């Protein structure tokens, strides 16, 4: 799988394979096709944002080394990557290939050993921890494999919590969150606890929480890993669709090629480098299309 022709990811639509630029650290163009990404096929919807060419996240020559010399492990070894608003990117690869490390470095959770991650022109690696934490709160959203909802809080409170942490008043955050929860099909479940929700509903709450602050980028780590296939598919469609409609870029780590196929772009990592990239020019299926498929 790691050598990827990505058999399971081949959608019914034709796709172009963009071979990765060798990750040698040369100041070449990044391994991604964002600037050349066709602007076609962008569905319109409430709040849809057209893709623009300036990437919201731009990584250059990323390297991440764990351990000392001799026993050092190169989790990232010269990664170049761009992602634009409203675009979706799946990061695939075998265990230990560096995909989760890449997600954490892009999100400013980890500082890279070398290289830069520009978010709207600011280098995340140069920011102190507290500033990066605030940036994650205000500009990024996160969806984890098991939701990581606080079990004592209601669904609504789980959604407003990050907003309140960011200084938004409870009243404002609640008004926003109710709209988001309804939009994601959670009407009548606002006051339920996570234990009173199904796995799919809880994950939709987690997606709402990630999107309620109108982030510029949503990071998802195996977001459907704990769900059955049907529920996982539905949750995935909601995630991709709502990110696209709200103009947020989606960066999703997955080991499942079918899950990755929901994203417009897929990069496959191997040994800390981007080995291959797939771009699906006309993918960004609507929910109906995805279900039919």
Partner 1 sequence: MSALLATAPLLLRRRGALADVLPVIAFTAAAAITATVVGGAAAFAARTPSGVTPMTGEASVMPFLLICAVFASALLIPSAVGLGGSAARLSLARREQDLATMRLVGGTGGQVGSVAVLDVAAQSLLGSILGLGAHLAVTPALARLDFGITPFTVAELLLPWWAYPLLVVALVLIAAGSAAVSLAGVVLSPLGVARDSRVVRLSVLRLGLWAALIVGFMIFMNMGGVLLGSVGIVIIVLFVAAIVAGINVVGPFIVWVTALALARTAPTPSLLVGARRLAGDPRAGWRAVSGITFALVIAGFLTMIATLGDTSTPEEAMMLTATTTGGLLTLGIAAVLAAVSTGVSQTARVIDQAPRLRAQHIAGAEVGQLHRARIAEIAVPVGLSSIIATGTALLVLTTFFGSAPSDPMMAVQYLAAVLGAYALVIASVLVGSPLVKRFALRAV
Q: Are 241 and 286 in contact (CB under 8 A)?
A: yes
Using the rule CB under 8 A, is 190 a contact of partner 1? no
Question: Is the Cβ of residue 206 or residue 260 nearer to partner 1 in the bound state?
Answer: 206
DSSP secondary structure string for all residues of 144-184: -TT----TTS-HHHHHHHHHHHTT--HHHHHHHHHHHHHHT
For 114, phi and psi rounded to 5 degrees? -150, 160
Instruction: Map residues 22-61 to x or -, x wherever contact with partner 1 holds by CB under 8 A.
Output: ----------------------------------------
- The site map against partner 1 for 79-118 (x = CB under 8 A) is ---------------------xx--x--x-xx--------
CB 143 within 8 A of CB 227: no
The verdict on 196 binding partner 1 (CB under 8 A) reads yes
Report 206-265 residues binding partner 1 (CB under 8 A).
209
Among 70, 121, 151, 188, binds partner 1 (CB under 8 A): 151
* CB closer to partner 1 out of 31 and 210: 210
Residue 123, token pair as written in the block? 């280098």
Looking at residue 51, the DSSP 8-state letter turns out to be -
Distant-in-sequence, close-in-space partners of 162: CB < 8 Å, separation ≥ 6: 137, 209, 212, 213
Out of 152, 179, 187, 291, point to the residue binding partner 1 (CB under 8 A).
Answer: 152
Helix (H, G, I), strand (E, B) or coil at 133: helix
Minimum CB distance to partner 1 smaller for 142 or for 180: 142
Smallest distance, Å, CB 129 to partner 1?
8
Query: Is position 74 an interface residue for partner 1 (rule: CB under 8 A)?
Result: no
Q: Are 211 and 142 in contact (CB under 8 A)?
A: no
- Is residue 84 helix, strand or coil? strand
Footprint of partner 1 (CB under 8 A): 100-101, 104, 107, 109-110, 129-130, 133-134, 136-138, 140-142, 144, 148, 150-153, 157, 161-162, 164-166, 169-170, 193, 195-196, 209
């Amino acid at each position: 799988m790691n050598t990827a022709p990505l058999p399971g990811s081949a959608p019914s639509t034709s796709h172009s394979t963009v071979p990765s630029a060798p990750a040698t650290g040369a100041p070449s163009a990044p391994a991604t096709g964002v600037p050349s990404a066709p602007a076609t096929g962008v569905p319109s919807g409430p709040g849809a944002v057209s893709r623009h060419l300036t990437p919201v996240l731009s990584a250059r020559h990323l390297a991440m080394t764990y351990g000392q010399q001799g026993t050092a492990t190169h989790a990232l070894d010269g990664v170049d990557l761009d992602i634009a608003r409203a675009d979706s990117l799946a990061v695939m690869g075998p265990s230990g290939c560096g995909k989760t490390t890449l997600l954490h470095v892009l999100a400013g959770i980890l500082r890279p050993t070398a290289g830069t991650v520009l978010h709207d022109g600011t280098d995340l690696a140069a920011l102190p921890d507290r500033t990066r934490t605030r940036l994650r709160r205000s500009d990024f959203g996160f969806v984890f494999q098991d939701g990581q909802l606080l079990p004592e809080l209601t669904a609504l409170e789980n959604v407003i919590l990050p907003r309140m942490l960011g200084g938004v008043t409870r009243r404002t955050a609640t008004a926003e969150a109710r709209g988001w929860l309804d939009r994601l099909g959670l009407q009548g479940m606002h006051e339920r606890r996570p234990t009173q929700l199904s796995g799919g509903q809880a994950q939709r709450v987690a997606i709402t929480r990630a999107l309620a602050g109108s982030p510029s980028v949503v990071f998802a780590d195996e977001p459907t890993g704990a769900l059955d296939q049907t529920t996982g598919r539905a949750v995935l469609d909601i995630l991709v669709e709502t990110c696209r409609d709200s103009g947020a870029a989606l960066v999703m780590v997955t080991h499942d090629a079918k899950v990755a196929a929901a994203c417009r772009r897929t990069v496959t990592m191997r040994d800390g480098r981007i080995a291959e990239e797939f771009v699906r020019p006309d993918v960004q299926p609507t929910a109906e299309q995805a279900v039919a498929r």
